[in-house]
């Protein structure tokens, strides 16, 4: 069984450790836990690891956020991975900082990366792990906020949540989206997925 795990973000040192790059940060943590190393390949950096006999192809697209779908479509095809086995990890302004929410499908929520992925795949029926980054910004400053660096307070919240996100990925590939949502979304103090 093979899975494509995609952390969304923007390449370049100027984007490292910004709120918008939380997907890259989780992808790095997942690869590190699996003793895998990223190698630059077409449309992104790729790491391959095994977990409970599953093969995880971990992708950090190099296409920039708003063209993420091109990279994902390419690697789904190249690795012959069904969309059901795709998990996209992304930041989310609509969730408070540190809140994690797994969804088996859904809309784009105004997120440029998700907009492009849905367009490229012609489907919104793929799993996504949304990581809350809050929305503590003045009107008109959304771009500055999402591309801004974490505050020390935010880092203290997010660092342990990155490891929780890694556990969610491992659960997703082991027992599927529905059961993982029941475990982790409830733990986050949110409504169960069937109530969402």
Residue 189 has pLDDT above 60, yes or no: no
Number of domains in the chain: 1
What are the tens digits of pLDDT across the range 104-114?
Answer: 998 888 888 89
- Arithmetic mean of pLDDT over the chain: 89
What are the tens digits of pLDDT across the range 112-161?
Answer: 889 999 999 999 999 999 998 887 776 776 777 777 787 888 888 889 99
Instruction: Give the residue numbers marked as catalytic.
Output: 20
Residue 125: its pLDDT value, please? 94
User: Of 40, 44, 64, 63, whose CA–CA distance to 4 is shortest?
Assistant: 44
Q: How many Cα neighbours within 13 Å face the side chain of 103?
A: 21
Output 193 or 81, whichever has higher pLDDT: 81
- 122: containing domain: 2-195
Domain containing 174 — which CATH number? 3.40.50.1470
């Amino acid at each position: 069984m093979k899975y494509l795990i995609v952390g969304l973000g923007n390449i370049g040192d100027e984007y490292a450790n910004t709120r918008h790059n939380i997907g890259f940060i989780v992808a790095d943590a997942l690869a590190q836990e699996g003793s895998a190393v990223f190698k630059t390949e077409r449309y992104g950096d790729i790491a391959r690891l095994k977990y409970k006999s599953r093969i995880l192809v971990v992708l950090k697209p190099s296409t920039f956020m708003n063209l993420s779908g091109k990279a994902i479509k390419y690697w789904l095809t190249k690795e012959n991975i069904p969309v059901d086995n795709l998990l996209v990890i992304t930041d989310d302004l609509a969730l408070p900082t540190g809140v994690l929410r797994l969804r088996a499908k859904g809309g784009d929520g105004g997120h440029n990366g998700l907009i492009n992925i849905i367009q490229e795949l012609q489907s919104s029926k793929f799993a996504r792990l949304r990581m809350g980054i809050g929305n503590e910004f003045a009107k008109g400053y959304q771009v500055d906020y999402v591309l801004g660096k974490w505050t020390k307070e935010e880092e203290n919240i997010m660092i342990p949540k990155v490891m929780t996100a890694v556990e969610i990925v491992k659960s997703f590939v082991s027992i599927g989206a529905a059961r993982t949502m029941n475990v982790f979304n409830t733990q986050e103090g949110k409504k169960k997925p069937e109530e969402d």
